[in-house]
Amino acid sequence: MNIEQRVDALEQIEAIKAMKYRYWRACDAKDPQGFRDCFITSGARIDYGALGSFDDVEPMAQIFEKVALHTVDGRHVVFDMHHGVHPEITITGAGTAVGRWTLRFRQVNLIAKTETSSTGEYDDEYVLEDGQWKMSRCSFTETWSMTRPLDPATVVKEGSFGEGP
Quick count: other Cβ atoms within 10 Å of Cβ 38?
Answer: 23
State pLDDT tens for residues 21-45. 999 999 999 999 999 999 999 999 9
Residue 142 included in any domain: yes
Task: Provide the domain limits for residue 45.
Answer: 3-149
Q: For position 101, which CATH number holds?
A: 3.10.450.50
Domain count, the chain: 1
Residue 97 included in any domain: yes
CA distances in angstroms from 136 to 37, 54, 164, listed in the order given: 11, 12, 28
Residue 107 included in any domain: yes
Residue 157 included in any domain: no
Residue 45 included in any domain: yes
Residue 155 included in any domain: no
Answer whether residue 160 shows pLDDT above 90. Answer: no
For the entire predicted model, the pTM comes to: 0.93
Between residues 127 and 158, which one has the greater pLDDT?
127
